[in-house]
Chains A and B, each alone.
Chain A
Amino acid sequence: MRYARDVAIVAFAQTDTLRRSDELSEVEMVMPVLHDVLRQTGLRSSDIGFTCSGSTDYLAGRAFSFTMALDGVGAWPPISESHVEMDGAWALYEAWVKILTGEADTALVYAYGKSSPGEVRDVLTRQLDPYYVAPLWPDSVALAALQAQALIDAGGTDEPALAAVAARSRTDASDNPHAQLKGSIPSGEYIVRPLRRGDCPPVGDGAAAVILAAGDRARDLCERPAWIRGMDHRIEPHSLGVRDLTDSPSTRLAAGRAGAFEAPLDTAELHAPFSSQEVVLRRSLNLNDSVRVNPSGGALAANPVMAAGLIRLGEAAARIHRGESDRALAHATSGPCLQQNLVAVLEGES
C-alpha cells in the first residue's frame, strides 16, 4: 500500500533491562531514554509534534499509572499526547498514523514496564477471559508450554531445536550491553514441560524510546533513517481452543500487509518471549537461514513487558542506522500464545 508520507525511525534508546529496579520510579526509569533520543536528534521536547506511550496499569499495581510517567516528558506547555494500554510498538503505530494524517511531522514514542514489584506470571493471567479462564490462574509460562507441546506434537520442532534457539539468543545477547541474560546459559531444568529455564524469558524492568519523523525532516535528524515501508497488526481469537497454536496467521497477514514478502529481508527482530514462539513466527514469516534473526538476543535475553515489542522496532531500526541492515522486519506480540501481532518493514536508503 502507498502511504501519504514517508516516515522513519530516526532515534532509539533503551535502558539496561534489570531483574529489579526498586530504587527507580517509572519517571526516573523513562527520563534517561527520553533525554537520549532527544539528544541523538538535537530536538527539544517542545519541537515534538505528537507523543504517545505504551504501558499497563497492572504492572504498576495502580490505576492511571501512565499519568505520572507523563510528568517525565516535560508536558508543559501542554502537548499533543496519547497513550495505548499496550506494548509500545502499538504506541509507535498510533504515532505513525498521526504523522500520516499530516497533523505532525515528528513523534516521540516511549514504553516502560516494571515487572519486579509483582509476579508477572500471575499478573498476566488477568488478561484471560475473566469469567471462564482467569479464575483458574493459568500462568503465561503454562500457556506457552501448551503451545510448545502442540508444536512438538505436530512435528514442528523438538526440545534440542528449542535449546538451540535459546543458546543462539543468549550468545547474541553478549554483544548487547542492555540485555539481562548474556552468554551461553544451560537450557536448565523444566519450568513447565516441555519448556526449560532457557526457553523462557527473564523477568525484568526496562524502558525504551523512539523518535519518528517524516520525509526530509527525518533526513535532517538522522544520517541513515530507518524508513517504515509498511506496518500492520492483526488480532486472533482469544480462546486457545479455537486457534491453531502451531501457526500465527495474524503475523502472516500483518507481514503481507506491511509488504514483508515483496523483497528479501536481511534482519528480523522477533518478539518471541519463548523459544517455541520463535519457531512459530519463523514459519509464519517464511524466514530462511539468510535472515539474521534477533541479533540483539531478543526477548529470551531481555523481556521488559510493554517495552519489549518497541525494543524490537528500535533494534531493527538501529541496525539500519548503523548500516548493518538494508531491509529489516520488526515484530511485536501481545496476549497469550501470540494472540496479537504487529509487523513493520524498515529500510535504509542505499
Chain B
Amino acid sequence: MSKAASAKECVAVVGIGQTKHVASRRDVSIAGLVREAAQRALEDAQLTWADIDAVVIGKAPDFFEGLMMPELYLADALGAVGKPMLRVHTAGSVGGSTALVASNLVASRVHRTVLTLAFEKQSESNAMWGLSLPIPFQQPLLAGAGGFFAPHVRAYMRRTGAPDTVGSLVAYKDRRNALKNPYAHLHEHDITLEKVQASPMLWDPIRYSETCPSSDGACAMILTDRAGAARSPQPPAWMHGGAMRSEPTMFAGKDFVSPQAGKDCAADVYRQAQIADPRREIDAVEMYVPFSWYEPMWLENLGFAAEGEGWKLTESGVTELDGDLPVNPSGGVLSTNPIGASGMIRFAEAALQVRGQAGEHQVEGARKALGHAYGGGAQFFSMWLVGAEPPTT
C-alpha cells in the first residue's frame, strides 16, 4: 500500500444562495437564473467572482430544458471563463453529488475555493416528456415518477402496517414549514390536513397534495478550506462527512422500500462524522421526499428509526419543526422541486441550519444536520453531514 495520504483538507460552506423557486421564471434566461443564485452565494460569503478557483455544476437530464451539456453555454454566466468547470449528472441525487464533487476539489487541495451550483428550469420544457422518451426493449417510467414509486409506497405500508393517514401528515407538515421559507415554491396559506386528504388520488396511495411541484430554481454554495473559512464574515458550516452510493435500477432481490445503497451511504457518512446514534446526535434533517410517504421510509433507511417504525416517528410529531428530530424544516422537495437543484437545496438547507441562518424555519440550537438526496429508481444516493463546529479529526 502507498503511504497514507496526508489528512484531507477541511471543507466549509461559507456562502449559500437560492432563487425564489416558482413554477415559471419567464423573466430570466437559464443563464440569468443560475447567475442570480451564484451572486447571492457570493454576497453571503462576501467574495467576488475572482475569488472562485473552479465551478462544479449539476442538473438533472438535459432533456428537461432541451439543452445539451449546458455548462458550455453557462460558462460565461457563472464566471467560469479561464477556470475549470465540471458538470455532474447523477439523476435526482445530482444536486447532492455535485456538492460532493466540489467538496472533493477542496478536500484534495486541488482548489481552495469552489462555486457549486445546481439548477432546473422546468418551464423551458416538460419534465414528464423528458422522462418518457421511448427506448426499445426497456421498461418506460410508468406515467412519470409517481407511477414508478407508488407500488413501493404500497409495499412499505403492507410491510409495516402503517395507517394510510401518515402520508398526508407529512405533506401537511412540509407545506406549513414552507410558509416560513421565503424561497419555497408553494406557499399554501390556507392549507389544512383535511384539504390534503381530500385532494385527488393520482397514483394510489399518492394524492395530489402529497406530490412535489415542478419548479424553476437554482441553488449555489461556496465551499472553501480552513483558511477560507477563517476569513468568512458569517459562521461557516463544516462538512463532517459525505458519501455517494449507487446500485442497479432493478434486479431480483432489490429492496425498493429500503435500498441497500441508501443504508450504506448513510453508514459511510456517520462513520466519517463519528455519529453513533443518528437519532440523538443529529438535530435536523433535510431529506429528499418527493412523495410524502418517503419521509417514514427514509427515516428507516437512514437509521433514524428501526425497520417498520419510521411512520411512528412521523405520526407522533417527532419530525415537526418543533419536534425532536425536525425533517424538512424548509418545506422540502414537497414544496419546492427544481429537480436538478433539489438535492443541493437539501445540502444547503442543512448548512443554513447549523449556521443558524435559516430564519423563520430555523431549528433552535441545530449543531449537526444531514442533507440527503436520491435519484433514478431509488438507486443513487448522496448525503452529507454538516456541523457548526469544525471536525475534530
| Least distance between A196 CB and chain B CB atoms (Å) | 27
Which of A57, A68, A101, A235 contacts B108 (CB under 8 A)? A101
Contact present for B248 and A130 (CB under 8 Å) = no
Query: Is A58 an interface residue, CB under 8 A from the partner?
Result: yes
Q: What residues of chain A lie closer than 8 Å to B243, measured between beta carbons?
A: 80
B199 within 8 A of A: no
A57 touches B109 (CB 8 A): no
Give the 9 A-B residue pairs with the shortest CB-CB distance, closest first: A215-B2, A63-B61, A102-B5, A78-B261, A100-B108, A85-B89, A126-B68, A81-B246, A335-B72
List, in ascending order, chain B residues with CB within 8 A of A335's CB: 69, 72
Which residues of chain A in 241-258 are interfacial with respect to chain B, using CB atoms and an 8 Å cutoff? Answer: 249-250, 253
Q: A67-B377, A77-B260, A98-B104 are in contact. Are A236 and B66 (CB under 8 A)?
A: no
Contacts A58-B62, A84-B86, A232-B84: A127 and B73 contacting too (C-beta < 8 A)? yes
Report yes or no: B88 in contact with A85, Cβ–Cβ below 8 A: yes
Closest residue of B by beta carbon distance from A78: B261
Q: B392 an interface residue at 8 Å Cβ cutoff? A: no
What residue of chain A has the Cβ atom nearest to residue B67's Cβ? A130
- Binary contact track B132-156/A, C-beta < 8 Å → 1, others 0: 0111011000000000000000000
In the assembled complex, the Cα of A102 lies from the Cα of B264 at a distance in Å of 19
Q: Please measure, in the bound complex, the distance between the C-alpha atom of A339 and the C-alpha atom of B82, giving whole angstroms.
A: 10
Size category of the binding interface on chain A:
35 or more
Stretch at the interface among A9-17, A86-94, A267-275, A284-292: A86-94
Q: A71 in the interface, Cβ–Cβ < 8 Å? A: yes
Q: List 24 A-B contacts (CB under 8 A).
A: A5-B5, A61-B133, A62-B133, A62-B134, A64-B131, A75-B248, A76-B251, A81-B245, A83-B88, A84-B88, A86-B71, A94-B104, A100-B109, A126-B66, A127-B69, A128-B73, A129-B73, A215-B2, A215-B3, A217-B2, A233-B84, A235-B83, A238-B75, A340-B75
Within 88-136 of B, Cβ neighbours of A (below 8 Å) are at 88-91, 97, 100-101, 104-105, 107-110, 124, 130-131, 133-135
Contact B130 A63 (CB under 8 A): yes
A66, CB-defined interface residue at 8 Å? yes
Given contacts A68-B138, A94-B101, contact A127 B76 (CB under 8 A): no
Q: Judge whether B245 and A78 touch: CB under 8 Å.
A: yes
The smallest C-beta distance from A7 to any residue of chain B, in angstroms, reads 9
Would you call A85 and B87 a contact (CB within 8 A)? yes
Asked whether, in the complex, the Cβ of B91 is within 8 Å of the Cβ of A64, the reply is yes
- Asked if A334 is an interface residue, CB under 8 A from chain B, the answer is yes
**Selected contact of B86 from candidates A77, A86, A339, CB within 8 Å:** A86
Which B residues are CB-close (under 8 A) to A62?
Answer: 63, 133-135
A70 to B81, CA, bound (A): 32
The answer to whether B68 touches A239, judged by C-beta atoms less than 8 angstroms apart, is no
Could you tell me the distance between the alpha carbons of A100 and B104 in the complex, rounded to whole angstroms? Answer: 9
Q: Does B44 make an interface contact (CB < 8 A)?
A: no
B386 on interface, CB distance cutoff 8 Å: no
Interface residues of B, Cβ cutoff 8 Å to A: 1-8, 29-30, 60-69, 71-76, 80-91, 97, 100-101, 104-105, 107-110, 124, 130-131, 133-135, 137-138, 243-249, 251, 259-261, 264-265, 268, 376-377, 379-380
Q: Report the separation of the CA atoms of residues A3 and B107 in the bound assembly, to the nearest whole angstrom.
A: 12
Contact B72 A85 (CB under 8 A): no
Chain A, residues 172-188, CB within 8 Å of chain B (1/0): the string is 00000000000000000
Q: Is A56 on the interface with B (CB-CB < 8 A)?
A: yes
Complexed CA–CA distance, A77 and B104 (Å): 24
Interface of B is mostly: loop
B residues near A85, Cβ cutoff 8 Å:
62, 69, 87-89
- Chain B neighbourhood of A222, CB < 8 A: none
Q: Which residue of A lies closest to B93 (CB)?
A: A82
Q: List residues of chain B with CB within 8 A of the CB of A239.
A: 76
A334 near B6: Cβ-Cβ < 8 Å = no
For B8, the chain A residues whose CB sits under 8 A away are: 101-103
Q: Are B2 and A5 in contact (CB under 8 A)?
A: yes
Residue of B nearest to A71 (CB): B248
Chain A residues, Cβ within 8 Å of B380: 67, 81
**Bound state CA distance, A103 and B268, in angstroms?**
11
The contact of B246 among A79, A123, A130, A334, by CB within 8 Å, is: A79
Does A214 reach chain B (CB closer than 8 Å)?
A: yes
How far apart are B246's CB and chain A's nearest CB, in angstroms?
4
* Complex interface residues of chain A between 199 and 238 (CB less than 8 A to chain B): 214-217, 232-238
In the assembly, what is the distance between CA of A234 and CA of B111, in Å?
Answer: 13
Q: Is A152 an interface position by the 8 A CB rule?
A: no
CA distance A274 to B144 in the complex (A): 41
Cβ-defined partner of B83 (8 Å) among A3, A127, A234: A234
CB-nearest residue of chain B to A60: B135
Considering the complex, give the chain B residue whose CB is closest to the CB of A232.
Answer: B84
| A266 contacts chain B at the CB level, 8 A cutoff | no
A216→B5 CA distance, assembly (Å): 12
